[in-house]
Amino acid sequence: MKLKINKKKLRKIEPTRNAFLSLASSIIYQQISTKAGNAIYGKFLKLFGRKKPSPELFLNFSIAELKSAGISPQKAGYLKDLAEKFENKTINHKNFHKMSDTEVKEHLLQVKGIGPWTADMFLIFALNRPDILPVGDLGTKKGFQKAFKLKSLPSEIQMLKLAEDHNGERTMLTLYLWDILDNE
């Protein structure tokens, strides 16, 4: 069943100009409230001063500086791994535009702290890929439940089946599912 989606009402997303910063922010925001994430992310950005956040600059920060920004030791390790992989070209962000969605995900999963959810969010928000359905995202599951009037949260297989009519534009479906939850 194809849902009727008003594209004009969906949030607008712009491609990122700084893949490192986009991925770093995803790591910072993982498993914490938006309010806490905003506070930590703001302090993280202040570490760079007026300079553009980069992997090279990040690698110069001490553990104490990262801790002062509210970054846990575990996330500091993830961010360090991300920066190192950007620096040594294990993650070559200049090739993202040439890669398929699957290739980008596989590429990103090499970084400690980046899993399928983070990779999906990067594909949606940083690269603006049109056909991403983050089946591991709780908001997506709840959106499916509400939109399709399901008694319980759907399985991955059920979500993929319900989204079949939206193949090629599943990112728009995802944004719609999140939007109907936000407007409850």
Q: What is the pLDDT of residue 7?
A: 79
Taking the C-alpha atoms of residue 94 and residue 82, their distance in angstroms, rounded to an integer, is 15
Domains of the chain, first to last: 19-126 (1.10.340.30), 133-182 (no CATH)
Q: What is the pLDDT of residue 79?
A: 97
Taking the C-alpha atoms of residue 48 and residue 46, their distance in angstroms, rounded to an integer, is 5
Helices (H) and strands (E) in the chain, counts: 10, 0
Q: What is the pLDDT of residue 184?
A: 67
Q: What is the pLDDT of residue 19?
A: 96
> Strand, helix or coil at 100?
coil
Active site residues: 137
pLDDT values of the chain reduced to their tens digit, one per residue, 184 residues: 788 887 778 888 888 989 999 999 999 998 888 899 999 999 999 999 999 999 999 999 999 999 999 999 999 999 999 999 999 999 999 999 999 999 999 999 999 999 999 999 999 999 999 999 999 999 999 999 999 999 999 999 999 999 999 999 999 999 999 999 887 6
Residue 138, classified by CB atoms within 10 Å of its CB into exposed (0-12), middle (13-18) or buried (19+), is exposed
